[in-house]
Amino acid sequence: MEQKVDMLLAPLQALLVEIGGFLPRLGLALVVLLVGFLVAKAARFTIEKGLRALNLHVVTRRSGMDDVMQWGGAQIDTVSVFGRLVYWVVILAALIVGFNSLGLTHVTELLGRLMLFASRVVIALLILAFGSYFARFVGNAVSSYCGRIGIHGATGLGRLARYAVLVFVIMVALDQLDIGGAIVRDAFLIVLAGLVLALALAFGLGGRKWAAARLEEWWPSERREPDR
């Protein structure tokens, strides 16, 4: 009789042993998640305040990224997006530690990939922010230069230069996210080479008079004529 009772209780005892070993790990995972949530909130607040103190919101506003987000229906600016991305990176890190303590390795591998992708998104946004600002600077510089030397359509050339740099920046950001591939990059390089050649021809044809005037000013024709 006792043997039969022991045989019936053996599975229950094994289950209780498993539960007794699982509960401490579950408690540790919950503590890790709670701490991760608090750290994520603090990191988000710190990142947003720090980036605004560095005037990154000015860069993103002048580059046009904030306008693009508003056109898309977003109610936040780019700095807030950075803060939220950092928040989720910390949350994913806490989830990885928590699930790893529970022995769920397949879940931790998936979360690790998500965290890596979120980190790449942060870097891609930084590239877009500063690249867009630089593209606007190049466009304004080209427009100003072409207008100064008397090239017609200086504003259009400036926009062309800005869009060319902007497309290059977008390609770099997509490459950071492993989106696109070699074919897209090669096609872009071909188009970029064509744009550069068109700009060079425009500068060469439109700036002949300006170059001749500068040459006459720096090296008069009397000095260029050989002695007879």
Q: Kindly report, residue by residue over 46-82, the tens digit of the pLDDT.
A: 988 998 888 888 888 877 777 777 776 667 788 888 8
Helix ranges (H only) for the chain are 2-53, 56-63, 65-71, 78-101, 105-148, 154-176, 182-206, 208-218, 221-224
Q: Tokens 């550069």 label which residue?
A: 196
Q: Please write the tens of the pLDDT for every residue from 145-174.
A: 777 776 666 787 788 788 878 888 888 888
User: pTM of the prediction?
Assistant: 0.64
Residue 42 has pLDDT above 90, yes or no: yes
The chain-wide mean pLDDT, for the chain, equals 75
Looking at per-residue pLDDT, the higher value among 86 and 75 belongs to: 86
| pLDDT of amino acid 224 | 47
Residue 186: pLDDT over 60? yes
Cβ 85 vs Cβ 121: under 8 Å: yes
Higher pLDDT, 62 or 123: 123
Task: Provide the pLDDT confidence category of residue 99 given band limits of 50, 70 and 90.
Answer: confident
